[in-house]
Amino acid sequence: MAKFDVYINIDHFNYLINLVHQYDHERFACLFGRVKPVKGKPSIVIEEMDVFTDDDYDGLYTATCVPKKSVIADMLRKLEKKRYSVYIEYHTHPFNYPTFSSTDRKDEITMWNYFHKLYPTKYYGNMMFDTNACGEALIRDWHTGNLVQFDPIPY
């Protein structure tokens, strides 16, 4: 599949950008959506967002955050219950570092392998904003397992 377009409600998009400017530590959120045609092209439309509170982490540091496994399990139950076809994990880099770190990449691959076993026909992705707005946004295509860049588009 070619590059994805991912449509995010403007209020959710602005909220994600504002999370970056909480400089004390990284922040984490989960985005849920569906693949739908937009302007004649298969696209992802985000329908819901959950932002983690400080109690949702096992570790919370300036350069990394470690969400509780139980909270991630709750997010995956929501994905299944509401029959979403897309799950995107979002985190901030509260500094000027617009790419995924090696830790981010390792975590993403581990989670995708787990996610793909549970939901072999759903999309799993990662998005990171830094202080200059969008850093990287990637989805693993469930057809091939390859990373596909996406453009977050506010609407």
pLDDT digits (tens, 9 = 90+) for 70-124: 999 999 999 999 999 999 999 887 777 667 777 777 888 888 889 989 999 999 9
pTM value is 0.85
Contacts of 12 by beta carbon, 8 Å cutoff, 6+ apart: 31, 46, 49
pLDDT digits (tens, 9 = 90+) for 26-85: 888 999 999 999 989 889 999 999 999 989 999 776 677 889 999 999 999 999 999 999
How far is Cα 19 from Cα 8, in angstroms, rounded to an integer? 15
How far is Cα 43 from Cα 6, in angstroms, rounded to an integer? 6
Please give the pLDDT value at position 87: 95
Per-domain boundaries in the chain: 20-87
- Whether residue 65 contacts residue 20, with contact meaning beta carbons closer than 8 Å, is answered with no
How far is Cα 119 from Cα 55, in angstroms, rounded to an integer? 27
Give the residue carrying structure tokens 């350069």.
63
In this structure, are strands 147-154 and 41-51 parallel, antiparallel, or unpaired?
unpaired
Contacts of 104 by beta carbon, 8 Å cutoff, 6+ apart: 91, 126, 128
8-state DSSP, 55: G
